[in-house]
Amino acid sequence: MEEIDFDDIFNIQITGMKMILCHPDTKRDKYWLLKIFIMFALYTLEFSFVLNSMLADIRNKDLFNAFRNAVPVSIYIFMLINYSFLISNSKSIGKMINIMKSDYEKCLTMPNLDQRCRRVIMYTTAKCSLILKYWSRLISSCVLVFCVKSICLSIYYVLKGKYEFVSFYEMHYPEFIEKHKKNNVYVFALTYAAEFYFTSISVLVYLCAPPVGPLFMLHACSQLEQVKIKFEDIFKKDNVEKRLSDIVKDLQHAYGFIAEINKCFTIIYEITMKEFSIRFPVTCYAFMKAFSRGEFAVEYVVVIATITILTTVPCYYSDLLMSKGEEVRQAAYACGWERVFNPGARKTLLIIINRACTPTAVKSIFCTINLDTLTNVRV
C-alpha cells in the first residue's frame, strides 16, 4: 500500500493555520496574544478606513460605492467569526485531526485489510488533497485579481499620459490621506500595502476555516464506506459474531467522529448559511451596478464564486455523508442474514440497523446541512 503522509496531504491547511496562529498545536502564551493583537490591530485599522468610506458614501447617497465598500466590510465581519471559530474550537479540531492521523496509521499497519478498503482510503486522501489544492487556488485568486486589476489600470493610465495610481480598493480615505494618495508614491504605497494586508489576512482565514468541515465529513464517509464493504461477505466466512463485533466498533468510531463534527460545526454552519444570505446579494448588487456603468468587475465574480462554493461544499459533503449512512443501513439488511440461522448475529444486526435509521447528518442550529437546505436559502 502506498504510504500515507498526513502532513503532506494537508500541508496547505496546516501551513495556513500556523501562519495565522490558530493551529491546535500553537503554543498559547503572552507572546501569542501579542502577535494576535498586532496582526488584528493593523487589520482592524484598515477596516476602519473601509467602514468610514462606506458611511461617507451613504451620507453622499452614493449607493453604488457604498455597496462596493460593503463587500470588504462583510468580509471583515465574517472573517472574525471564522477566526473565532478556529480559536474557540481548536481542541475539537485538534482531536479530529489526531483521529484522522490515527486512522491512517492503522491502515498502514493492517496487513489483512481488504483491497477495496485500501482503495477507499487512497481515494479519500487524494480527494482531500484535491479539495485543498483547488480551494487554495480559488481563494488565492481573490488577491491576484485585485492586484492584476490595479496594476493593469495603472499601466493603462500611464499609456494615456495621466500617470494616476490605482489603489487595491476603490475607496475614500480621510482627507489628510486622500489628497496625497494619488500624487505621492510613498502615501500610495502605504495605502496599497494596507489594502493588500487586509485582503491577505482575510484570504488566509478563509483558506483555513471553510475546508475543515468537508475534509472531516469526507473522512467519515470513508469510514462508513469501509463498513459497507465489510458487510458484503459477513456470512460467507467463519467467525461471524467476531466480525460483526468489529463492525460495531468501527461504526461506534465513525458515529463518534460524526458527533464530534456536529459538536464543533453546529454554530459556524448556521452562520455560514446566514453569511451566504447577506454577502451574496450585496456582492451581486455591486457587480450588477458596476456592469450597468460599463465596468466588468472581475474581482466580484471571483468573490461571488467563492461565496457560492463556501456554502455549497459543506452541503454537498453532508448530503454525501447522509447517503453513506443510508447505504450502511441497506448493506446491513442485505448482508444475507436470512440464509443463516444465527440468533446472536441477527440481534446484533437488528441493533445496527436501528441505529443506522438515525441520519448521519451534520446539523446547524435550525436545520440539517444538505443540498435541500441549500436550495431553500433565501437571498
> Which sign does the torsion angle of CA 46, 49, 55, 58 carry?
negative
DSSP label of 367 = S
* CA distance from start to end of the chain: 48
Residue 332: which residues within 8 A CB-CB, separation 6 or more? 231, 349, 352, 353, 356
pTM of the predicted protein model: 0.84
The per-residue pLDDT of the chain, averaged, comes to 81
The pLDDT tens digits for 79-108 are 888 888 888 888 888 888 888 888 877 776
Question: Of 52 and 375, which is predicted with more confidence?
Answer: 52
Q: What is the mean pLDDT of residues 71-79?
A: 83
Residue 107: which residues within 8 A CB-CB, separation 6 or more? 1, 4, 113, 118, 121
Q: Annotate 195-242 with DSSP letters as a single string.
A: HHHHHHHHHHHHHHHHHHHHHHHHHHHHHHHHHHHHHTTTTSSS-HHH
Q: How far apart are CA 246 and CA 224, in angstroms?
A: 13
Query: Domain spans of the chain?
Result: 6-376
Q: What is the mean pLDDT of residues 25-49?
A: 88
Q: What is the mean pLDDT of residues 104-114?
A: 70
Residue with cell 431553500: 376
Q: Is 377's pLDDT higher than 70?
A: no
The pLDDT tens digits for 221-237 are 988 988 888 888 777 77
Judge whether 267 and 365 are in contact, CB under 8 Å.
yes
Give which of 223, 216, 201 is closest to 268, Cα–Cα.
Answer: 216
Q: Is 134's pLDDT higher than 80?
A: yes
Would you place residue 34 in the very low, low, confident or very high pLDDT band (cuts 50, 70, 90)? very high
Q: How far apart are CA 27 and CA 180, in angstroms?
A: 42
The pLDDT tens digits for 270-325 are 888 887 887 788 778 777 877 777 776 777 787 788 888 888 888 888 888 889 98
* Window from 57-71, 208-222, 252-266 with minimum mean pLDDT: 57-71
